[in-house]
A and B are shown apart, each in its own frame.
Chain A
Amino acid sequence: MPDYVTVWVNGTAMQLAPRSMVSAALLIAGIPCRKSETGEPRTALCGMGICFECRATVNGVQHRRTCQLTCRDGMIVETER
């Protein structure tokens, strides 16, 4: 197993421990995952895939729950800005 995986977050490469969740990347980068209906920045809350606050677009698919998604090398993550 490699020492880290590389994921792209809003165009910037980040290195994370293997088996990290995508949510970790966003939290480490300090980037909110999404904007709420009234424009508030939001990030993960429940950590277990229930609250849907941690959603981001991953590899082009919208509304992925990042706290339930394991990082894979080359993954492209985009947040609502």
Chain B
Amino acid sequence: MAAASAAAQHGRSVILLDDNPAAGGQIWRDGVQAPGHRIHDDESAARTQALQELDACGATLLFGYRVFDAGAPSTLYAVRETAADDEVLVLRYQKLILATGARERFLPFPGWTLPGVFGAGGLQALVKGGFPVHGKRIVVAGSGPLLLAVASHLQAYGAEIVCVAEQAHLSRLVPFAFALRSHPAKIRQGVRYRHTLRKTPYRTGCWPVSALADERTGMLRGIELSDGAKTWKQDCDLIACGFHLVPNTELASLLGCTLRDGFVEVDENQQTSISNIYCAGEPTGIAGLDAALLQGEIAGHSCAGHPGKALRTHNRAARIFAAQLQKAFQLRPELRSLAAPETIVCRCEDVPYRSLATRSSWTDAKLQTRCGMGPCQGRICGPATEMLFGWKMKSIRPPLFPVSVSAFCLSSAQQDLTQENA
């Protein structure tokens, strides 16, 4: 949104494309109004302002479209599923800004595939999509600042947050909190979360060992947690568990942008290794909302030929913050040993840990067990196997998301939008 508004300021014609039904991405996803269900959107000024700017800037907003392929020259193919058929868009650009965000990292542990176990951001998104959690007891587990945000939001929707279990040890988090002193807004936000959750135990150095099912019904009834010295069981109705974030770099990879350490490499103008492609936000480094907004703005201005020098100083601070985040919430080695031999690692193909433990590489595992060959194309199991075995996923191929044969064949292209200006 920031990029679109910025680029449009310079008179460029801009198209903004998103898979979701409306603006906001994951963080600022709109919540559903339900009778007897109070909305608790993040009504922060920043969000309101960004949405208003987007509305006013004159950019063409295309929602519900997902990019599934790219071609030469400078062409993207996107599809929208409608009731009748798939609508294919062929988009030609002079400049492209990728703001594809991040997804949660999931690590397997016994019981993690039970209904009732969700991602942390995942449960928040589902709640915003209309899943009521009023009165439900929820354990929030995993790692990252996202856990507090999620716990706070779920509580606002009426859930009882039983505890928040952060795997990072306090000794890592304290320096991080101290480093936040240069980000007063983040401190204020942190304080707000802690206040909202003042009655909720926030246990550091604590991680999930297994999700527990009721013997009779098979439904989720609790979670087993560990702090390395002891384990204990905690009753709950739902589990929201995610281990920090992984950048969505698939489209950037498909386009041929250089990645470094798994992130899209950009210069201070957010330009990638391909001269007419820019990238902003989480795919360049997990640094949170403010950095994403900032980088989006930089990218928008740069694309339009007006790189903003003033913004760059703030961006440097954002990069430092990203490095601090990474360090503070680094995943502990115990998390590699959570999976039992029968624990499913690849959920699309039901590949258990024991089948993967003997394989030599991602390619070998894929070929011999089908791990990563399902619809998610390794988005869930890839980061997990990287943590468990050190494997790096290779080769991005189209389609980036499943599309119908007809859409993939492009035989039903119905629109052809050409960009005259960047």
Residues of A within 8 A of B (CB): 3-4, 16-21, 23-25, 27-28, 32, 36-38, 40-53, 55, 59, 61, 63-64, 67-68, 70-72
Which residues of the other chain, A, contact B104 by a CB distance below 8 angstroms?
46
Tell me what chain A mostly uses at the interface: helix, strand, loop, or mixed: loop
Tell me what chain B mostly uses at the interface: helix, strand, loop, or mixed: loop
Contact B19 A49 (CB under 8 A): yes
Q: CB-CB contacts of B103-137 with A at 8 A, as 1s and 0s?
A: 11010000001011111011111100111100000
Residues of B within 8 A of A (CB): 19-21, 26, 30, 32-35, 37, 66, 81, 83, 103-104, 106, 113, 115-119, 121-126, 129-132, 218, 344, 347-350, 374-376, 379-380, 401-402
Nearest chain B residue, comparing its CB with the CB of A41: B115
Which residues of the other chain, B, contact A52 by a CB distance below 8 angstroms?
348, 374-376, 402
- A63–B66 CA distance with the chains assembled, in angstroms: 16
Interface centre among B83, B125, B129, B349, by most A CB within 10 Å? B129
Which residues of the other chain, A, contact B126 by a CB distance below 8 angstroms?
21, 23-24, 27, 44, 47, 67
- How many Å from the CB of A78 to the closest CB on chain B? 16
Which residues of the other chain, A, contact B21 by a CB distance below 8 angstroms?
19, 68, 70
Which residues of the other chain, A, contact B349 by a CB distance below 8 angstroms?
37
Contact B81 A64 (CB under 8 A): yes
**Given A20-B130, A40-B350, A67-B129, also A46-B115 (CB < 8 A):** no
**Given A23-B129, A32-B115, A36-B113, also A48-B121 (CB < 8 A):** yes
Contact A16 B130 (CB under 8 A): yes
Which residues of the other chain, B, contact A45 by a CB distance below 8 angstroms?
106, 117-119, 122, 347, 380
Starting from the known contacts A40-B113, A46-B122, A48-B121, 17 additional A-B residue pairs (CB-CB under 8 Å) come to: A4-B35, A16-B34, A20-B130, A23-B129, A24-B126, A36-B350, A37-B348, A38-B350, A41-B218, A45-B118, A45-B122, A48-B26, A51-B347, A59-B83, A64-B81, A68-B21, A71-B130
- How many Å from the CB of B118 to the closest CB on chain A? 6
The contact of A21 among B37, B130, B375, by CB within 8 Å, is B130
- How many Å from the CB of A13 to the closest CB on chain B? 16
The 9 closest A-B pairs by CB, nearest first: A47-B125, A20-B130, A24-B130, A17-B34, A21-B129, A47-B122, A37-B350, A52-B375, A43-B115
Which residues of the other chain, B, contact A47 by a CB distance below 8 angstroms?
118-119, 121-126, 129
- A63–B20 CA distance with the chains assembled, in angstroms: 17
Contact B83 A28 (CB under 8 A): no
- A43–B130 CA distance with the chains assembled, in angstroms: 15
Nearest chain A residue, comparing its CB with the CB of B379: A50
**Given A42-B113, A42-B347, A49-B19, also A19-B121 (CB < 8 A):** no
Which residues of the other chain, A, contact B347 by a CB distance below 8 angstroms?
36, 42, 45, 51, 53
Which residues of the other chain, A, contact B106 by a CB distance below 8 angstroms?
45-46
A-B contact pairs, 17 of them (CB 8 A): A19-B21, A19-B130, A20-B32, A21-B129, A23-B129, A27-B131, A28-B132, A42-B115, A43-B115, A45-B122, A47-B124, A47-B125, A47-B126, A47-B129, A49-B66, A50-B103, A68-B19
Contact A50 B33 (CB under 8 A): no
- A72–B82 CA distance with the chains assembled, in angstroms: 12
Contact B33 A17 (CB under 8 A): yes
Which residues of the other chain, B, contact A40 by a CB distance below 8 angstroms?
113, 344, 350
Nearest chain A residue, comparing its CB with the CB of B352: A38
Contact A46 B129 (CB under 8 A): no
Which residues of the other chain, B, contact A59 by a CB distance below 8 angstroms?
83
